[in-house]
Structure 1
Amino acid sequence: MRNDENDTIGSSSPRRSALETLLAFAQLGLTSFGGPIAHIGYFRAEFVERRKWLSEAAFADFVALCQFLPGPASSQLGFILGMSRAGLLGGFAAWLGFTLPSAVALVLFAYGVSQLGDVAHLPWLHGLAIVAVAVVAQAVWGMAQSLCPDRERATIALAAMILTLALPSAMGQIGAIVGGGLIGWLLLPQRAAPASSPISTGFIGPRAGLASLALFVIVLIGAPILAATTGAHWLALFAAFYRSGALVFGGGHVVLPLLQQAVTPPGWIGPDAFLAGYAAAQAVPGPLFTFAAFLGAAMREPPNGWEGAILCLVAIYLPSLLLLLGVLPFWDAVRGRSAMRAALAGVNAAVVGILTGALYTPVWTSAIFSAADFCLAAAAYLLLVFWRTPPWIVVLFGALGAAAIDAFGRSLT
């Protein structure tokens, strides 16, 4: 179903300002716990259901595009949503608002400000994981209703779920997306929905898109060569984090082994500090790629501190944004073709299956350990779906509820 008021996504309007976009995503950057799959659920609840910035069909198209590209899918999705609302400046405002809260928190942790200790066993943190179950469940149910309305697409979703659970890696996810697109192209040409509203990309035309793709390749190849030639440590850091951001599929957790191989063997950061930073990254909202800010701040030699954090954060995000800007000018033309719409219908069904598999693992398996956990997750789902409670209030409810359950359990022992 299309929103009539969004006939041209990203069209200019006094109400659609970059500041509005920045504030909206900053709120999510402060409250979006649970990892990239949960972030998609938060975005859908905020911008499709509550704010009605875009239609379900347009949102699904954006999710499908981000699943195709390497890099942090939730951050790329946020960039597109901001761009569709307020142009290129809105895209950067969305990225900044969503990224900055967790990046700042992790830099402060690197400076030794945080005294949380072993964050993995904090009751309130467990409550945030429980809320993520409700958020992902809401997204799966809502997207399934519109993207899997018939038995063919429901079957594609089920097959994608099984594949991603059987192959819990980036390859399983990529295989599900490619397979869903192929099946959709072959079997769904008569059932594909019309292309959703076009994206207004401002001055990002085909030439700028091709230049962005060329820059992506030049930096990927040239930065390591330049770093080896000059011996500049900051260039070596930039090249390592850029390569990690360019070659990762499947979200934040997949980038961790790449980062570990990049920073610990050269002695840039110790393994204990790496693991401590990773634990802290689980305790903050927003994208896991902001772990790069901690690593940059905690480096043993300059650039470190705030300078290192900014360098590493920009380096790890730059390739995914260059790819996104390179593909977007051609996306409307590609998805406007009937064969591509059929393929996208299959891809969107596969994305529902991927989200359903992620609802089970890691979201459910890492959060629901008891009947009390299940009841808290059900209450959070009730608040989100039936009471239309803003997600940040549900996050607070989950944190306080888990802390209360833990305190009650301790009082009985």
Structure 2
Amino acid sequence: MEVFFTFLKLGMISFGGPIAHIGYFRAEFVGRRGWLSDSQFGQLLAICQFLPGPASSQLGFCIGLLRAGWLGALSAFLAFTLPSALLLIAFAAALPMLSGPMGAAAIHGLKLVACAVVADAVLGMSKTLCPDTPRKTIAFFALAALLSMSSAIVQLIVVVLAALAGVLFLGNISIPGNETKIQISLGPRVGGILLLLFAALLIGLPIFSSPSPTLESVAGVFYRAGALVFGGGHVVLPLLQDSVVATGWMTPDQFLAGYGGAQAIPGPMFAFSAYLGSVLSQGNATWLMAATALIFMFLPGFLLVTGVLPLWRAVSHNPAAGRAIAGVNAAVVGLLGAALYNPIFLSGITVSSDLAIAVVAFGLLAIGRLTPIAVVAWCVVACIARLWF
């Protein structure tokens, strides 16, 4: 219960995205409660940043696992995710009611929030993930490939080729780590089983693909997205867009409105999956569909991190692994840049005043460093005020 209520508090106050979440976690678990040392916290963070998936949620899952075993890990996930998931399910239920001029303006404002937030993410990630010419080159070719032909298969091919390019061309880039031992009861055998389960689900779930959003097909789509996301929650956008918008499961307006609404709530960005599941249900078994999307979005990241924990010491000393992940991270910048253009810019910017509102919103984030809530408020209020001018 201690783990559950500690993470529940964090789930209700942790605004600002994964980087901010990591700051909250360190203050709570290293500074205030002493559950971990700084070195242990740093090594867990390195593992979670090395793997695909939601880094802050994976970190919380690991902290819960170390503190109270599997029950602690599940409690950490549920408590940290529940507030944001419930808010987004409620937003999905309210979306059809926003049909008048003011409602339509508010929804359009949320689409402009997505423009500003993703542009800020591309700028920030390009500085940290593409600091040299080889990585800028990988990002450029990834951007060009995805602008030319965007699909989930192409994205997977780009990620694989970027990892190979990293191994071949990025020199001696090592994976961050340290020698402090993480006290974990899982052995290499359990870790291997979890990694095999991760791979089996990734290969097996597409068998249940369907032209309509059934529980099985939704599970496969969200599992694949969660398994292939490097670089944070914003990067899941193009993967999910190809899976639920390009297939006709939902409209671009529904997708981008939910993404914009997700900027105004605390907790993990991956909770956006609960909103998408609610919309895909079309009023039938809404809670079951939302829970399926949510669970399968987070599941691959949790399987990977718990599978790698017992094996981390050997992996962390392999320079080739560090070069591969550096190449993938560079490609992520190109992937997100492609998503910024299509569907975000093309769907959100329809008139010149849209561009002006989005530019101001970007300035509030990138220069003013205001919270996403302030950006949501600006975009929504500006779009509603435009009705009277």
2:244 partner amino acid: L
Supply the distance in 2 between the matched residues of 1:50 and 1:338 (Cα, whole angstroms): 31
Supply the distance in 1 between the matched residues of 2:361 and 2:183 (Cα, whole angstroms): 37
**Per-residue CA shift, 1:323-342, capped at 9, x if unaligned?**
32321131635354210001
Give the Å deviation of 1:240: 5.0
Alignment of 1:13-412 (within 5 A): 17-24=6-13, 42-44=17-19, 46-47=20-21, 62=48, 65-66=51-52, 76-77=54-55, 79-83=57-61, 88=73, 89-106=75-92, 108-109=93-94, 114-117=96-99, 122-190=104-172, 192-196=173-177, 206-212=188-194, 238-239=215-216, 241-246=218-223, 251-256=239-244, 282-284=256-258, 285-286=261-262, 287-296=272-281, 298-299=283-284, 304=285, 309-328=286-305, 329-330=307-308, 332=312, 333-408=314-389
**Per-residue CA shift, 1:40-79, capped at 9, x if unaligned?**
xx444x446899889999989756733xxxxxx6xx4553
CA contact (8 A) 2:174 2:318 kept: no
Counterpart for residue 32 of structure 1: none
Query: Helix, strand or coil: the match of 1:387?
Result: coil
1:23 partner amino acid: M
CA contact (8 A) 1:131 1:395 kept: yes
Aligned pair count reads: 336
What is the TM-score when the length of structure 1 is the normalising length?
0.66
1:104 partner amino acid: A
Supply the distance in 2 between the matched residues of 1:279 and 1:146 (Cα, whole angstroms): 31
What is the TM-score when the length of structure 2 is the normalising length?
0.69
CA contact (8 A) 1:184 1:345 kept: yes
Give the Å deviation of 1:389: 0.9
2:160 partner amino acid: V
**Per-residue CA shift, 1:101-133, capped at 9, x if unaligned?**
112333x45xxx952237998112222222222
Gaps of 5+ in 1: 1-12, 29-41, 67-72, 226-236, 261-273, 409-413
Supply the distance in 2 between the matched residues of 1:373 and 1:157 (Cα, whole angstroms): 28
1:102 partner amino acid: L
CA contact (8 A) 2:135 2:330 kept: yes
1:283 partner amino acid: A
* Higher helix proportion: 2
Gaps of 5+ in 2: 28-37, 66-72, 208-213, 229-237, 263-271
Identity, % of aligned positions: 26
Counterpart for residue 35 of structure 2: none
